[in-house]
Structure 1
Amino acid sequence: MKIMQAPSFTAAQLDSKWQAMAENGMQRAAHLVKKDDDGKLHVDNVRWGFDENSADPKEWTPRFRDTVIDPSKVKEVYIGEEPFAPKYIGGHGYAVIELSEPIVNADGEKDNRLVISMEAWTPKGESYTAGKGMKPNFGVVFQLGSFGDRVHRITRKEGRSINLYKLDLTPEQKQEFTENALDAALKDRKGEFYHTLKNSCWGAQVELLNTVLPDKQHIARWTKLFKKVKMSAVLPSVSGLVLQRKGVWNEKNAIEIVPDARMWPAPTKTWISTQSQKPWWGTAGRLTGAGVTGGVTGALLGWPGAVLGGLAGFYAGGVVADHLQILEGGVKTSPDPYLPGFVKAKLGVADTQLPAGPGAKPGS
């Protein structure tokens, strides 16, 4: 990882900053308690969903549990991406590790997926913004959690969606990626600062992927000239496009786990969400180049369209069309099968794991 440090801070100032972040009840740095002879990891501060103890989801209490993880049982690796405003630009990215043997917490709860999420560690009462993230305001935390935790938080607590991209990796690459990601997550990050452009969530996943990908598939983080940051390695929202063009994600559609309809009504379809799935969309984008689709996008979206148009400089014409087609073309999937067991019990949902991975039918 590219370490962003602020050497001007004294030890006392760093202690004060990290204490303020430690008081943030939503995030906790994972800690390795012990490693068994067979390679199993005992890790504390792993999040397992939220106690729905208030009518206001913002007041729900996170549940942290000691957890046993067997990295040798990796089955699949996904990149998860959570869109937020501004649409098509804002987002958060992380790794999802699917295992043939589930992770298990101290209460006996199980999940066959583990989330490894590099995040801006915000002090209690503060929230992340891209502008604040340009300065040393936030630490770095690798938040570990069950996949059920992530689905609970995003689709039920916050009313947003999750896009999943299943990576086309060899078994050896999956194993190495998982080990490298866990090593990164369990390091002491005190003194390391989050940076919107240089040390961010998607940038961290890019660096981890580059440790297992051949040179021809590497995702460049910096331009060859002047060593400037490449937006394709900064914006999680373009992760599907980048992975597709590097041959790392080769499926027709992502899996889109939609917001819980019991709490969040489905949004009205936009012109772009409808038209981007028409057969003519991608062809038109490639024939006319990024200028036309970028212009339409810019007119409809305002400044986010300008950012999308700028991304076209990294790829051939049609990048904007392809980007929107990927984001709007996910196979919409209910969050119910992925929610934590205690939430399923509350809602009367069958507690069935999905061994075949996201998108599989319960019981398959």
Structure 2
Amino acid sequence: MNINASFFAKIISIILFAAPAHAQQPGFSALEGMTAADLSIAVPADQLPESKKFGVTYRLNGVLTVDGEKILFNTADGRVFTLDMSLRKARGFDGQTVNVRAKAIAADDMGTLNVDEIELYDPAAHDIQLPPRQDKRRVARLVADGKSGMEVENVRWLYDAEPAEDKFDWATAKIRPELVKKVYFIKKPFPPEWLAAHSLFVFTFEDGGLTDANGSQASGLALTIEAFLREGEVYDLKTGLKDRFGIVWLLTTWEDYAARTALIDKARLIPYEVKFSRAQTAEMLREALRLSSVNRDGEFYHTVTNNCTNNLLILMNRVLPEKQRIRMWTIPYLVYNVRATMPVVVPGYLQGKGLLGPELGTIDTSNYKLPLD
């Protein structure tokens, strides 16, 4: 089924805000039986969530300090933000520990937080003990960034012949950007496939480009940006519009990701080559590793403005010349560009801009062990 961005935006708004009862269940599986004929309620595309200038939501505790005309916010883990709020209001909290709900411009531009809500810190309300994160995801940590390469902790690896659903291997990887070959945009469809998918990047390497501490090699490195789920949580599109799920920029080997997709998720992957020069690919790899290691505690995943796909395009923009950069907002800072955020629309959009090659077949149980190139 072919759909353009305008029609797709209407569909998303219908499903998220006016869907029939059978669609309002957790996860993509609730939408499996739906077809275009089910979407009989017309909801204007302009009812999609609008994020104004700031697209990434945070909820944080910290100390507010007024320094002249500047408002600073220090968290217990050492982060320092500038707050965008009324100076008069800020003076009422000067020197005190507060809880704020605020928004950053994007996942790579978090120095300033625009404050939506602020109140004095209350341990009973703002220091709630939450369940632990699910074992399958960890935050990467960049421990070395030099001429000999980059070292990153918490890269999910695969040491067994086949992955176990509840067992995960983790490694410290040495990555040599000068040995990167290509980068692929990968689409992972979910039912209904004309509507739903996940997306990720995979960087491929020459021999020695991606190794663990013992010298074991992997052919590719996947960057998959996901909701950072806790025990008992299940992701779904509608809940993803709320301040519910954390976010993680997860790094795994291609071997691990492909095997888990084919054998455990019973899904398939569709690759497209990103039409970057080798120098651009190496630079985007460096940017990906650095941004994967950013402390994102308190940051929320969002179905539209901070998700698996739009952050990949933000990464691309960091290495593209200004005239080629992807527009992230249809109306600047008012309406987010659906073609830059929804996985089923993005490949065609990027192909039209000359940034993505054709679909390169399907990766499934028959060929998941093969390298991408």
TM-score range, shorter-chain basis? 0.5 to 0.7
Show the counterpart of 1:337.
370
| Aligned partner of residue 182 in structure 2, secondary structure | strand
Show the counterpart of 1:97.
203
Q: For residues 236 and 49 of structure 1, what CA distance do their matches in structure 2 show?
A: 26
- Within 5 Å, give how 1:112-261 maps onto structure 2: 112-224=219-331, 227-251=334-358, 253-258=359-364, 260=365
| Aligned partner of residue 335 in structure 2, secondary structure | coil
Cα deviation code 1:305-330 (max 9, x no counterpart): xxxxxxxxxxxxxxxxxxxxxxxxxx
Q: CA deviation at 1:31?
A: 1.2
Alpha-carbon distance change, 160 to 50 in structure 1, aligned in 2, over 3 angstroms: farther
Q: For residues 332 and 172 of structure 2, what CA distance do their matches in structure 1 show?
A: 46
Counterpart pick for 1:26 among 136, 152, 166: 136
What amino acid does structure 1 have at the position aligned with 2:144? K
Q: For residues 361 and 220 of structure 2, what CA distance do their matches in structure 1 show?
A: 15
Counterpart pick for 1:48 among 149, 157, 163: 157
Q: Normalized per residue, which structure has more strand?
A: 2
Q: For residues 294 and 161 of structure 2, what CA distance do their matches in structure 1 show?
A: 31
Matched, 1:38 2:91: no
Contact 2:255–2:369 (CA under 8 A) maintained in structure 1: no
Q: CA deviation at 1:140?
A: 1.1
| Aligned partner of residue 168 in structure 2, secondary structure | strand
Q: CA deviation at 1:154?
A: 0.6
TM-score by length of 1: 0.65
Contact 1:2–1:199 (CA under 8 A) maintained in structure 2: yes
Alpha-carbon distance change, 73 to 102 in structure 1, aligned in 2, over 3 angstroms: closer
| Aligned partner of residue 263 in structure 2, secondary structure | helix
Counterpart pick for 1:73 among 163, 168, 179: 179
Q: For residues 166 and 159 of structure 2, what CA distance do their matches in structure 1 show?
A: 6
| Aligned partner of residue 230 in structure 2, secondary structure | coil
TM-score by length of 2: 0.64
Contact 1:77–1:167 (CA under 8 A) maintained in structure 2: yes
| Aligned partner of residue 221 in structure 2, secondary structure | strand
Please tell me whether Structure 1 or Structure 2 has the larger radius of gyration of its CA atoms: 2
Alpha-carbon distance change, 51 to 11 in structure 1, aligned in 2, over 3 angstroms: farther
Q: For residues 192 and 97 of structure 1, what CA distance do their matches in structure 2 show?
A: 26
What amino acid does structure 1 have at the position aligned with 2:158? G
Q: For residues 250 and 105 of structure 1, what CA distance do their matches in structure 2 show?
A: 31
Where does the alignment leave 5 or more consecutive residues of structure 2 unmatched?
A: 1-53, 60-99, 102-117
Q: How many residues align?
A: 260
Contact 1:51–1:61 (CA under 8 A) maintained in structure 2: no
Q: For residues 14 and 232 of structure 1, what CA distance do their matches in structure 2 show?
A: 37
Percent identity reads: 27
Where does the alignment leave 5 or more consecutive residues of structure 1 unmatched?
A: 262-333, 339-357
Alpha-carbon distance change, 11 to 47 in structure 1, aligned in 2, over 3 angstroms: farther
Q: CA deviation at 1:242?
A: 1.4
